[in-house]
Amino acid sequence: MPSPDAAGEAERIVKICAACMYCDGLCPVFPALTGRNDDIAQLANLCHNCRACWYACQYAPPHPLAVNAPATFSRARMETYADHVWPRALRHVFVRPALGAGLMLAATLLTFALLTAMAGAPRSGPGAFYALIPWGAMATLATAALAWATLSLTVSTRRYWRTISAGLSPSPLKPALRRALSDIITLRHLDGGGPGCHDSGLPFSRRRKIFHHLMAGSMVLAVAATLAAAVFEHFLGAKPPFPLTSLPVLLGLAGGVGIVVGAAGLLAVEARMDRDPSDPGETRLNVSFLIALELVTLSGLALLVFRETPAMSPLLLAHLSLVIGFFVGLPASKAIHAPFRAAALLRAALERDVFPRKRITL
Amino acid sequence: MALRGGNARHARNFRIAHDAPLWHTPGAYPAAEFSAELAKISGDRPEETLAGALIEESAQVASWLMGCGVRLQAPDRGVLPYSRRTAFLLGGGKAMINALYATAARIGVAIAYDSEVLALTPTRDGGWEAEIATGGATRRLNARAVVLASGGPGADPAWRRAHFGGNADDILIRGSSYSNGRLMQRLVESGAQTVGDPSSCHMVAVDARGPAVDGGIVTRITAIPQGLVVDRHAGTVEIAGAAPGKSHYAQWGPRIAQCDGGLAFLILDADGVSRSLPTALAPIAAPTLETLADALALDGAALASSVAAFNQGARAIVRPPFSAFPMRAGLTFVHFGLAVDADMRVAENLFAAGMIATPNFFTRFYLAGLGLTLSAVTGRRAGEAAARALA
Ligand SMILES: Cc1cc2nc3c(=O)[nH]c(=O)nc-3n(C[C@H](O)[C@H](O)[C@H](O)COP(=O)(O)OP(=O)(O)OC[C@H]3O[C@@H](n4cnc5c(N)ncnc54)[C@H](O)[C@@H]3O)c2cc1C
Ligand code: SF4
Ligand code: SF4
């Protein structure tokens, strides 16, 4: 008896789960359910799509109650992105994820055209990058793209937080922050209550968690590489490209390789995963983000490898364009899941301090 | 295959004797206490040996299941009620079934899904021949020993009509439609000894709008103590001698089955609803008792007078909106099965385990978590005895 509209279906599922509660040990979504006016927007992002409750559900299809909690939350999650993303026009991306890939692509091509138009004559050795693209242009474009992404994601997250924190009674922030942070770092809720999540059907695995963290941790390294490069440039007077054994290059290399492997691993997991317990739109959002990230990183690594060759100048142009395009499209990509999920975890942690243990007898 | 696992798919916890806290089950539940509680529901059964074996071996069930890959839930996780008598399955019965099937496949057990054993006949060399239907095809398989774990008879409508009388067709089945007892019936007809009373069963009140089979745990109506039960003529329905405000789950099932059409309604006001646990299906709600009566196709004046009489008591139905749950009896299992000895033997080289053998242990009511424990203990016993018979 599934309901055709998304909100109605989410409410139907949540009521059944609240009455059942067999999955209450699998993740924090179920203990948070009351079955009465539950905040689907919060629960949707609390769910990590580990799929444990799909394989464990006694009411999964072909049962007439047709419960599919992960797909329901996945769909509702896409709606929270669409409903809260700023600027509002970006909401269409979460209805049709192909638009998001299109946005990244368009921004990349536009940047490429712009950079090609202003590119100088290629040369090699220190300062070669800036000889091709003047530092000012590179810095302006990069800063603008980064600022845009940060602003948009911040405003979107604030809008989401306002929705889910309505009616939250004041409680101590510090322990909750600590708990939420620990949940984020350990990805505890991808564990299906202990044994791991279901990447490729019934068997438990931790592959998704490992690849996710390899990728996310490597992104941190990549950011560190950029910061190190800035320090080298402004305080040590060095000019890129830096020597292979320099800190920025080593950090960038490690980060780049980590991202390529992590994202490839996640793509392989996506390719094998059961389709039923996810919203198809969210799968597309995941896949297009991973591919974009691979392109950005691979172009960066290629630049590193071929920087002493004539391929340097097209590679630099391509890499820069991909980076800018990536950041332009970031606010309307899978990236939005990170701050939204962090917000949902924080609210869950805050709530746990208010009601330390609810117990219901079934 | 998607519906594999019989009624165990719907189970949540199992009862285990233990003298000290375990990581999954706090406190202690001494064998003597288990034994005393079992004695209350066992009538003149079980024979001391069977009961003793059940309780002693219940202590091994948790570690045996974990050894087969089944995961249990720590009591500090989730919102479970505290229980020192039972261990809880992480993710419930279907998660357990998934783990058991994976283990069975790994150790080389052949599994035939969507297949039904139509008949078992003894062979001349002391074994059994099974007639198995898969889709349209039938094949025969010879076995030197057979363990029968085909569950109780409740899901067969013909069987219910034969033993439950009047409103048999108005009863909903809480568990699997495949646990229909037909194979057991065939064996009984060819001389197997039975135990228990075919008309005695465990029934609870369930939401009449739920599925006809496999409703499981979520269609159960637990809010009866919060309101008034009326029949389809809007007359008050009571359980004789029951204290008001108490749950009496297992008494309400048979009581509703006796109502006209096997149907009753739980009437609640807004306060009654807020005192109740969440339900899978929202109640039918209306701003006034008259409109509620209309929505339920009940006589408005009769409902008003039943409510007025009820309001003389401790709880009153006064604050709108008014709500109702239509209810039917939901059958969990029947107290009837095949008689076995201490080796779970029905006949030579034929053994029975699980629900089909349960009435050897108890023949009235139920204790939470007893079904799975019995199934695990009797299953292991029957399997070992069958292996010994082959040796
Ligand atoms: C809603 C509900 C909730 C429950 N909750 C609990 C609980 O929390 N704790 C607890 O301990 N117990 C619980 N029980 C009881 C428990 O589920 C049963 O005691 C247990 O499942 C019995 O196991 P079984 O294998 O003997 O029979 P069943 O689970 O009934 O399985 C019988 C199997 O045999 C198959 N079968 C039947 N006939 C044939 C045939 N001719 N050929 C081939 N296959 C056949 C069926 O398809 C089925 O898979 C619950 C029962 C129900 C209905
Ligand atoms: S997902 Fe299925 S088994 Fe789990 S709580 Fe919900 S209804 Fe129950
Ligand atoms: S998919 Fe995992 S995280 Fe999401 S609700 Fe189910 S068990 Fe919880």
Write the ipTM. 0.94
Which of A10-14, A196-200, B265-269, B378-382 has the least mean pLDDT? A196-200
Residues B210 and B325 in one domain: yes
**Tens digits of residue pLDDT in B78-105:** 887 779 999 999 999 999 999 999 999 9
Residue B262 bridge partners (DSSP): none
- Per-residue model confidence as pLDDT tens digits over A180-239: 888 888 777 777 677 777 777 778 888 898 999 999 999 999 989 988 988 888 888 887
Asked whether residue A94 carries a pLDDT value surpassing 60, the answer given is yes
| Same domain for B310 and B216 | yes
**What's the CA-to-centroid distance between B204 and ligand 1, angstroms?**
17
- What is the share, in percent, of chain A residues with pLDDT greater than 70? 96
The alpha carbon of A51 and the centre of ligand 1 are apart by a number of angstroms equal to 25
Tell me the chain B residues in contact with residue A58 when contact means C-beta distances shorter than 8 Å.
9-10, 92-94, 216
Looking at residue B310, its pLDDT comes to 95
Q: Which of residues 282-301 of B touch A (CB under 8 A)?
A: 282
Cross-strand pairs, B134 = B115, B137
CA of A362 to the centre of ligand 2 (A): 14
Alpha-carbon gap: A173 to the closest alpha carbon of chain B (Å): 23
A24 to B278: CB separation less than 8 angstroms, yes or no: no
**How remote is the CA of residue B174 from the centroid of ligand 1, in Å?**
11
If you average pLDDT over residues A92-111, what whole number do you get? 94
If you average pLDDT over every residue of chain B, what do you get?
A: 92
| Same domain flag for B257 and B306 | yes
Quote the number of domains for chain B.
2
Confidence at residue A11, expressed as pLDDT on a 0 to 100 scale: 94
Minimum CA–CA partner of A37 in chain B:
B278
Is the predicted pLDDT of residue A359 greater than 60, yes or no?
Answer: no
Q: Is residue A358 over pLDDT 50?
A: no
Residue of A126, A159, A329 lying closest to A242 (CA atoms): A126
Tell me which of B309, B329, B349 is where a domain ends: B329
Domain assignment present for residue B49? The answer is: yes
Mean pLDDT, to the nearest integer, of B10-18?
96
Domain contains B131? no
Contact B77, A21 (CB under 8 A): no
A21 CB neighbours in chain B (<8 A) are 78-80
| Closest C-alpha residue for ligand 2 atom 4 | A23
Q: What integer is the mean pLDDT of B119-142?
A: 94
Residue A331 CA from chain centroid, whole number: 10
Residues of B in contact with A57 (CB under 8 A): 94
Residue B214 lies in a domain: yes
Query: Residues of B with CB below 8 A from A192's CB?
Result: 91
> Alpha carbon of B390 to those of B230, B350, B351, B353: distances in Å?
58, 12, 13, 18
- The better pLDDT of the pair A1, B76 is held by B76
Query: Which residues have CB under 6 Å of ligand 1?
Result: B 6-8, 10-14, 116-117, 149-151, 174-176, 178-179, 183, 216-217, 332, 354-355, 369-373, 375
Tell me what the mean pLDDT of segment B357-362 comes to. Answer: 88
> B329, B349, B372 — which closes off a domain?
B329
Q: Which residue of A has its CA nearest to B274?
A: A36
Give the Cα separation of B93 and B87 in Å (integer): 12
Q: B91–A53: do the CB atoms touch at under 8 Å?
A: yes
Q: For residue B222, which residues of chain A lie inside 8 Å, CB to CB?
A: 362
- Model confidence pTM above 0.80: yes
DSSP annotation of B191: T
Section B263-271 average pLDDT: 97
pLDDT of res. B232: 96
- Spatial distance between the Cα atoms of A259 and A299, rounded to a whole number of angstroms: 12
**pLDDT tens, B31-48?**
999 999 988 888 765 566
Ligand having the closest approach to the CA of A196: 3
Residue A25 to residue B90, Cβ atoms within 8 A: yes
Ligand located closest to B10 CA: 1
Do B281 and B367 fall within a single domain?
Answer: no
Both B351 and B280 in a single domain? no
* Inter-residue contact B91 to A57 (CB < 8 Å): no
Q: How far is A283 from chain B (nearest CA, A)?
A: 24
* CA-to-CA dists, residue A78 to A2, A26, A46, A203, A230, angstroms: 19, 22, 13, 27, 37
In a domain, B97, yes or no: yes
CA neighbor of A58 nearest in space, from B92, B280, B87: B92
We report the CATH number of the domain holding residue B71 as 3.50.50.60
Confidence of residue B322 (pLDDT cuts 50, 70, 90): very high
Residue B72 lies in a domain: yes
Among the bound ligands, the one closest to the CA of B95: 2
Confidence (pLDDT) at B44: 64
What is the interface size between A and B, counted as CB pairs within 8 Å? 113
**What length does chain A have?**
362
Based on the fold, state whether residues B77 and B28 are members of the same structural domain: yes
B28 within some domain: yes
- For residues B274 and B364, membership in a common domain is answered with no
> What local confidence, expressed as pLDDT, does residue A132 receive?
84
- CA distances, B36 to each of A232, B33, B41, B270, B355 (Å): 79, 5, 9, 41, 21
Question: Quick one: B225 and B323 in the same domain?
Answer: yes
* Same domain as B347, residue B320: no
Kindly determine whether residue A22 and residue B92, on different chains, have CB atoms separated by under 8 Å.
yes
pLDDT at residue A196, rounded to an integer? 74
Q: Rounded to the nearest 10 degrees, how much is the dihedral formed by the CA atoms of B244, B327, B167, A61?
A: -140
Q: Which ligand is nearest to the CA of B369?
A: 1
Residue that wins the pLDDT comparison between A244 and A55 = A55
pLDDT of A150 over the 70 cut: yes
Instruction: Say yes or no: B256 and B312 in one domain.
Output: yes
- Among protein residues, the one with the nearest Cα to ligand 3's atom 2 is A50
Q: Report the C-alpha gap between B305 and B311 in whole angstroms.
A: 10
Whether residue B317 sits in one domain with residue B259: yes
Which pLDDT does position B244 carry in this prediction?
A: 61
Structural domain range at position B227: 205-329
Region A350-362: mean pLDDT is 47
pLDDT at residue B247 is higher than 70: no
Q: Which residues of A touch B82 (CB under 8 A)?
A: 359
How close is the nearest chain A Cα to the Cα of B194, in Å? 31
Question: Does B318 reside within a domain?
Answer: yes
pLDDT above 60 (res A360):
no
pLDDT at A355 over 50: no
Q: How far is A358 from chain B (nearest CA, A)?
A: 6
Query: How large a percentage of chain B has pLDDT more than 70?
Result: 97
A42 has a pLDDT exceeding 60 = yes
CA of residue B7 to ligand 1 center, whole Å: 3
Whether B139 is in a domain gets the answer no
Of A331-340, B35-44, B154-163, where does mean pLDDT reach its minimum?
B35-44
pLDDT at B106 over 50: yes
Cβ–Cβ gap A193/B102 under 8 Å? no
CA–CA dist B76, B24 (Å, integer): 9
Q: Does B258 touch chain A (CB under 8 A)?
A: no
Residue B238 has pLDDT above 80, yes or no: yes
- What local confidence, expressed as pLDDT, does residue A5 receive? 80
Residue with the smallest CA separation from ligand 3 atom 5 is A47
Of the segments A134-143, B256-265, B361-370, which one has the largest average pLDDT value?
A: B256-265
Say yes or no: B361 and B321 in one domain.
no
B320: domain CATH number? 3.90.700.10
Which range among A182-186, A270-274, A345-349 shows the weakest confidence by mean pLDDT? A182-186
Tokens of A60: 């999964």
Closest alpha carbon to A244 in A254, A258, A231: A254
**Model confidence at B241: pLDDT above 80:** no
Ligand 2 center from residue A30 Cα (angstroms): 9
Q: Are B382 and B344 in contact (CB under 8 A)?
A: yes
What's the gap in Å between A23 CA and the centre of ligand 2? Answer: 6
pLDDT greater at residue A119 or residue A316: A316
How sure is the predictor about A2, in pLDDT bands with cuts at 50, 70 and 90?
A: low
Task: Evaluate: CB of A344 within 6 angstroms of ligand 3.
Answer: no
* Per-residue model confidence as pLDDT tens digits over A59-70: 999 999 999 999
* Shortest alpha-carbon distance between residue B54 and chain A (Å): 26
8-state DSSP, B311: T
Can you give the pLDDT at residue B50?
85
Q: What six digits make up the tokens of B378?
A: 């009797």
pLDDT(A362) > 60: no
